[in-house]
Structures are given as C-alpha cells and as structure tokens.
Amino acid sequence: MQQLTPRGLQAWLEDRGRPAPLLLDVREPWEYDIAHLQGSTLVPLSRIPAWLAEADPQQEIVVICHHGVRSHHAGLFLEHHGFSRVTNLVGGIDAWSREVDPHLPLY
C-alpha cells in the first residue's frame, strides 16, 4: 500500500491532469461531522466489508482516518480483497488540519 503525506494529497487534488481519487473516510460519523475533506465518502471501518460489493477495485482510493492507523488497516483489508490502487493518508485528518488546512477543526 502506498503512503501519502497531506501535502502530497493536496498536490494530487490540485493536479488537473490527474483524476481525483476516491477519498474514503473510515472514521465514525461523529468524527466526520467535526472535520472532513470536502468530497470525501464516509464508510466507517466496521462497514468496509459490506461496502466492497459496491466499490470499484480499479479506482484510486485514498483512505483517511483520524491519525492514519484505522485507514492503514482498512487499506490492508482492501488490498487483501483485490484493490490494487490504495493509498493511506499518513497522519490522517489531524495531519491534514495541521499541515494543509488550519481552518479544519482538530479533535
């Protein structure tokens, strides 16, 4: 699984020549309500197995959580189930808030 820093994700999202990835947020709804990346899709970690049926294993996916641990586990699970284009956001939404968007609340 690839690892991507918040600045690396920011560059990817700003690159008009590269298709945007699916931003898969695996936190709980209450966490997502506090802070999330615009355009991200919320699928709590416990619901990932059910979500597989509707997901495209060829799509670029960046998995996001609070600090990068749950997203790492989700990414490993996705790879185990045939998803080959999975990237983990290192440091999660917390690092994004600190390094890219200071207006996004910390919790």
Residue 13 lies in a domain: yes
Three-state secondary-structure class, residue 44: coil
Q: State the pLDDT at residue 58.
A: 95
Q: State the pLDDT at residue 107.
A: 96
CB 68, CB 98: distance < 8 Å? no
Residue 39 lies in a domain: yes
Q: How confident is the model at residue 41 (pLDDT cuts 50, 70, 90)?
A: very high
Residue 105 lies in a domain: no
**Full-model pTM:** 0.96
Residue 20 lies in a domain: yes
pLDDT in tens, 61-86: 999 999 999 999 999 999 999 999 99
Residue 104 and residue 22: Cα distance in Å, rounded?
20
Residue 45 lies in a domain: yes
Q: Which residues constitute the domain of residue 89?
A: 2-99
Q: Which residues are catalytic?
A: 65
- What proportion of the chain, given as a percentage, has pLDDT over 90? 100
Q: Kindly report the CATH number assigned to the domain that includes residue 60.
A: 3.40.250.10
- Across 52-56, average pLDDT: 95
Residue 40 lies in a domain: yes
Residue 107 lies in a domain: no
Amino acid at 3: Q
Residue 106 lies in a domain: no
The tally of domains found in the chain comes to 1
